[in-house]
Chain A
């Protein structure tokens, strides 16, 4: 019976990145994916004829350019188009836009507040400083602070030096930034509700926290530390939808000799004498491998795929307590024409970027109150985009695909499971909000896919539908991600590794967890890593 050098459970972007790097190091790698397609939460699916849906993740910024280059993703079709702007509609019939042009951006803010318009430079400077601090940490394994191994000491020293390199004021800001709420953080710069709401959205996306919850300032940073072609903080559309990322990864993997099996759901990891020996598929088929790497989140991996008796008690308790709470849903819509927003001029660049309807932090917090009470938000927060304004490949000419990220959606409704009626009610809250700003919107809908945490967990496998495979709060970052003592992609089971977003540096379509895990595996195998580029310099 064949024993693969490595079996990767799950064909999400991190699983594929991991598999690519291992295959290119000369290992014989198998990726097993439960769905009939690869991609995990980075997919493009034709759910109605002629329309491609980015039906989970929908924009790209965090994906590391070093990985794109190493794995030759452009050759396999990946193209990322950086878009400009975005806007928040206000209830009084106006909107606040963001423009890439610095002075247009200032003039736009000045429509609401001359003071806040001129506060943007300082805000931008401070956020950029924090991004520069954290960026070099993304492509490195987090140090184990309790270890005396030279490498851990070296990494700790790197972290310490980075921190010591900050001025006293920056150190204070860094600590505050990593712990404070996005609302408090923005209060230090801005006074206008809609301007604060405009920035606060990056602090709550994908997070079961409100804008007034401590820890949300870091979530904003997490959304700013990406880049498109060197433009830090920029976001873009993957041409052909987010599935283009994983499609390119899969093609790169196959081109280097890797094997992918779709429609192959793993029932459990085969463990003998405390060591992973392979996986058992849902149908009972056993596949043997010298190493097993799980792209699934830490809860799914260790509470569903590994038998409890194989795991230490404290580890198990910490995994159970790992926060991976469902907080969001998705409504994906095929439209027979471009919607009109009377508040927005027809030639506005805003149509090409993210649009929102939540014009105050207070409203965001109230939406979060519904989540705490076990309901979807009556007045939800939407991150709405129409990628077909820049990407002609996702819908027939003149027709459009619209992606609506929706927050908040709890993992359970009043303590019970979601029903189809709940799902429809959730969708109605979204459509009603859009239609309030876009008359005739309902008539343009050709097809719609509604995904609550129930659907996301069932299809993608993300526990509770949490898009980050675990909250990005400071207690679950760096050497505490996913749990203390196991932040270096290894697990209590010999030969079983983690490579998903539950590990450092966390969620988003970044690829860094998959890449860093590959580096650790190759280290354990004493194989060279010369095919892995180090992080680009931050100068």
Chain B
């Protein structure tokens, strides 16, 4: 039971708990932790260009932003996803529990499959989005950007399920790009060719198990690998060795962020504000307001936020919409204001770039309905391009387009191609 963690511990448990607490005291000396892969990443971090990802020292870029991006699109890119928040959700009631907590129908998620989903508070506002891995009939892993343990535990009341935060215990890698399949095969993960998009399977590695799923955040052929933290380095080395002749490269977030934008994927607290972080009430968003309405399953039973979401749909109370934009010219419109008829403010661009794959100037923007919803013509973005200490103000036409901005057949091809 979820509540089991709240029981009063017995005396010997108290001693162990105190020892563990005391042992963890010195963390204040390392304000930015390394991940289990850090020794390898540090060795490759020629640019020393770090940022804090949930308290971990993560690279913006390791050696060359452009070539790191093209590693994703042309070879294979290795990206450390260990700082992602991970929860282990297990028990006979896990399926029913997750069906209640998240938007999609978890009863239709087969063991060995993964789906992208989101979850809401009781008012239907999005707490986060993430991926749900069904590792067995009764065991799941939920991955997300933000942290949700109190919410997950409180929601578990009445379900036979245990929930454990396992972010530090489990290391994660994304291997993305056209040669990613060939590398896994050459590394000896026999049977990996059978994985279709959103499939997962367990493979032997260094006396332990690595979970490989055909998932990713790039819109390309790619895989994600989860392994116990103490097997992280041997997994890294195994992939790097197998990938040497197939152009494998370690990359930082800047390259990944470009790929995800081309794939039209959104990032929590970058493209929308999660409800537990929204201090201003008008920043809260329902799934339909951030392009996640498709996750809401009207056929399944009750789930958190259901009543509010359907009431908002019926009463037309949805105030925002998230759209893909194609903007004339080639100057990225990051954080530009979106106008209707060049004068009326109707929204904001949250991410933008020139797409090397689409050869278009693309963006993700949040607009106030009906703009972007029923009124999609005559939209403009005002770009302030700083050039040698002067703003070049540009008013550029924006067209609402479907996401993803690029669609690559190799992402879904089965069996995957050997490039």
The answer on a CB contact under 8 Å between A166 and B52 is no
Q: What is the number of residues of chain A that contact chain B, defined by CB distance less than 8 Å?
A: 37
Q: Which of B1-51 contact A (CB under 8 A)?
A: 5-6, 18, 20-22, 24-29, 31
Q: Kindly identify which residue among B29, B55, B279 contacts A347, using a CB–CB cutoff of 8 Å.
A: B29
> Is B65 on the interface with A (CB-CB < 8 A)?
no
**In chain A, residues 327-353, which have Cβ atoms closer than 8 Å to a Cβ of chain B?**
345, 347-349
In angstroms, Cα B54 to Cα A103, docked, is 6
Quick one: closest B residue to A114, CB to CB? B165
Residues of B within 8 A of A94 (CB): 18, 21-22, 25
Q: Does B153 reach chain A (CB closer than 8 Å)?
A: yes
Interface string of B114-153 (1 = CB under 8 A from A): 0000000001000000000000000000000011111001
The answer, yes or no, to whether A101 is at the interface (CB within 8 Å) is yes
Cα separation A402 to B197 with both chains bound (whole Å): 63
Contact check, B25 vs A115: say whether CB atoms are below 8 A apart.
Answer: no
Return A309 CB to nearest CB of chain B, in Å: 52
- With A94-B21, A103-B52, A125-B278 in contact, is A118–B31 under 8 Å at CB? no
Give the residues in chain A near B123, CB-CB below 8 Å: 169
Give complex CA distance A358, B6 in Å: 23
Complex Cα–Cα for A103 and B58 (A): 14
Shortest Cβ distance from residue A294 to the other chain B in the assembled complex, whole angstroms: 39
- Cα(A347)–Cα(B25), bound, Å: 12
**A118 to B27, Cβ gap below 8 A?**
no
Are B25 and A345 in contact (CB-based, < 8 A)? yes
Q: How far is the CB of A16 from chain B (nearest CB, A)?
A: 34
Q: With A and B bound together, what is the CA distance between A107 and B5 in angstroms? A: 19
In the complex, the chain B residue whose C-beta lies closest to that of A132 is B279
Contact A118 B150 (CB under 8 A): yes
B386 CB within 8 Å of chain A: no
Asked if A170 lies at the interface with its beta carbon under 8 angstroms from chain B, I say yes
| Residue B277 interfacial (CB < 8 Å) | yes
Q: How far is the CB of B165 from chain A (nearest CB, A)?
A: 5
Greatest chain A CB density within 10 A among B21, B150, B279, B281 is at B150
Q: Which of A107, A114, A167 contacts B27 (CB 8 A)?
A: A107
Q: Are A114 and B28 in contact (CB under 8 A)?
A: no
Task: Name B18's contact: one of A92, A116, A167, A169 (CB within 8 Å).
Answer: A92
| B271 beta carbon closer than 8 Å to chain A | no
Q: In this assembly, does B276 line the interface, its C-beta being within 8 Å of a C-beta of chain A?
A: yes
Please give, as numbers and ranges, the residues of chain B lying within 8 Å of A79 by CB-CB distance.
none
Cα–Cα, bound, A166→B279 (Å): 11
Given the known inter-chain contacts A106-B55, A115-B150, please indicate yes or no for A125 contacting B22, CB distance below 8 A. no
The docked-state distance in angstroms from the alpha carbon of A118 to that of B31 is 18
- Interface residue A2 (Cβ < 8 Å from any Cβ of B): no
Decide yes or no: A118 and B6 within 8 Å by CB, A94-B18, A112-B21 being known contacts: no
What's the least CB distance linking B278 to chain A, in Å?
Answer: 7
Given A103-B54, A118-B148, A125-B279: A108 and B21 within 8 A (CB)?
no
Q: Which of A92, A93, A97, A115 contacts B28 (CB under 8 A)? A: A97
- In chain A, positions 140-170 with a C-beta closer than 8 Å to chain B are 166-167, 169-170
Q: Mark B255-287, 1 if CB is under 8 A from A, else 0.
A: 000000000000000000000111101000000
In the bound complex, CA of A97 to CA of B276 (Å): 23
Contact B149 A103 (CB under 8 A): no
Partner of B55, one of A93, A103, A167, A189: A103
For B146, what are the chain A residues with a Cβ–Cβ distance below 8 Å? 121
B82 to chain A, nearest CB (A): 14
A132 to B146, CA, bound (A): 24
CA distance A147 to B148 in the complex (A): 48
A108–B28 Cα distance when bound, in Å, is: 8
With both chains docked as a complex, state the minimum distance between the C-beta of A127 and any C-beta of chain B, in angstroms: 10
Q: Are B54 and A115 in touch, CB under 8 angstroms? A: no
Residue A111 at the chain B interface, CB threshold 8 Å: yes
Q: Are the C-beta atoms of B25 and A170 separated by less than 8 Å?
A: no
**Contacts A92-B18, A94-B21, A101-B31 hold; do A128 and B26 have CB atoms under 8 A apart?**
no
B interface, size bucket: 20 to 34
User: In the complex, what distance in Å separates the CA atom of A97 from the CA atom of B29?
Assistant: 13
Tell whether, in the assembled complex, residue B28 and residue A99 are in contact, meaning their CB atoms are under 8 Å apart: yes
Q: Do residues A348 and B28 form an inter-chain contact, with CB atoms below 8 A? A: yes
**Residues of B351-376 contacting chain A, CB below 8 A:** none
What A residues does B25 contact at CB under 8 A? Answer: 94, 111, 345
Whether B52 and A118, one on each chain, are in contact in the complex, defined by CB atoms closer than 8 angstroms, is no
Report Cα–Cα, A101/B277, bound state, in Å: 16
Q: Which residue of A lies closest to B52 (CB)?
A: A103
Contacts of B147 in A (CB 8 A): 106, 117-118, 121
User: CA A167 – CA B153 in complex, angstroms?
Assistant: 26
For the complex, give the distance between the alpha carbons of A42 and B24 in Å.
Answer: 39
Residues of B within 8 A of A106 (CB): 55, 147
Inter-chain CA distance A103–B146, complex, in Å, is 12
What residues on A are CB-neighbors of B281 within 8 Å?
Answer: 129, 166-167, 170
Is the Cβ of A128 less than 8 Å from the Cβ of B21? no
How many Å lie between the Cα of A118 and that of B52 in the bound state?
18
Report the minimum CB–CB distance from A317 to chain B (whole Å): 42
Given contacts A118-B150, A121-B147, contact A104 B31 (CB under 8 A): yes
Q: Which residue of chain A lies nearest to B164 when distances are taken between CB atoms in the complex? A: A114
CB–CB B28/A129 < 8 A: no
B18-A107 in contact (CB<8A)? no
Proximity bits, A162-200, B CB within 8 Å = 1, else 0 = 000011011000000000000000000101000000000
Residue in A112, A117, A122, A169 whose Cβ sees the most chain B Cβ within 10 Å: A122
B29 touches A125 (CB 8 A): no
Contact of A349 among B20, B28, B149, B277 (CB under 8 A): B28
Determine the distance from Cα of A129 to Cα of B277 in the docked complex, in whole angstroms: 11
Is the beta-carbon distance between B276 and A122 smaller than 8 angstroms?
A: yes
B55/A107 in contact, CB under 8 A = yes
Kindly identify which residue among A93, A116, A122, A191 contacts B22, using a CB–CB cutoff of 8 Å: A93
Q: How far is the CB of A224 from chain B (nearest CB, A)?
A: 13
Please give me the residue from chain A that is nearest to B147 by CB atom: A118
Cβ-based interface call for A119 (8 A): yes
Closest Cβ of chain A to B84, distance in Å, is 14
Bound CA–CA A343/B6 (angstroms)? 26
A118/B55 in contact, CB under 8 A: no
Distance (whole angstroms) from the CB of A342 to the closest CB of chain B: 12
Q: Give the nearest-CB partner of A128 in chain B.
A: B279
Give the distance to chain B from A300, nearest Cβ to Cβ, in Å. 40
Shortest CB distance A9–B (Å) = 41
Distance between Cα atoms of A166 and B150 in the complex (Å): 25
Which B residues between 46 and 99 are near A, CB-CB below 8 angstroms? 52, 54-55
| A107, A128, A191 interface centre (most CB from chain B within 10 Å) | A107
**A346 smallest CB distance to B (angstroms):** 12
On whether the beta carbons of B27 and A108 are closer than 8 Å, the reply is yes
Chain B positions within 8 Å of A104 at CB level: 27-28, 31, 55
Q: Smallest Cβ distance from A333 to chain B, in angstroms?
A: 26
A115 and B277 contact, Cβ closer than 8 Å, known pairs A103-B54, A104-B27, A349-B28: no
The residue of chain A having its C-beta at the shortest distance from the C-beta of B26 within the complex is A345
Chain B, residue nearest A190 (CB)? B150
**Residue A119 contacts which of B28, B150, B165 (CB distance < 8 angstroms)?**
B150
Residue of B6, B54, B279 with most chain A CB atoms under a 10 A cut-off: B279
Most buried by B among A101, A103, A108, A129: A103
* Contact between chains at A115 and B18 (CB < 8 Å): no
Residues of chain B within 8 A (CB-CB) of A115 are 5, 149-150, 153
19 A-B Cβ contacts within 8 A? A94-B25, A97-B28, A101-B55, A102-B55, A103-B54, A103-B55, A104-B28, A104-B31, A107-B24, A111-B20, A111-B21, A118-B165, A122-B150, A125-B276, A125-B278, A128-B279, A132-B279, A191-B6, A345-B25
Beyond the given A125-B278, A129-B279, A167-B281, could you list 10 further A-B residue pairs with CB under 8 A, ordered by the A residue number? A97-B28, A106-B55, A108-B27, A111-B21, A111-B25, A118-B148, A119-B150, A125-B277, A132-B279, A191-B6
A residues sitting closer than 8 Å to B (CB atoms) are 92-94, 97, 99, 101-104, 106-108, 110-112, 114-119, 121-122, 125, 128-129, 132, 166-167, 169-170, 189, 191, 345, 347-349
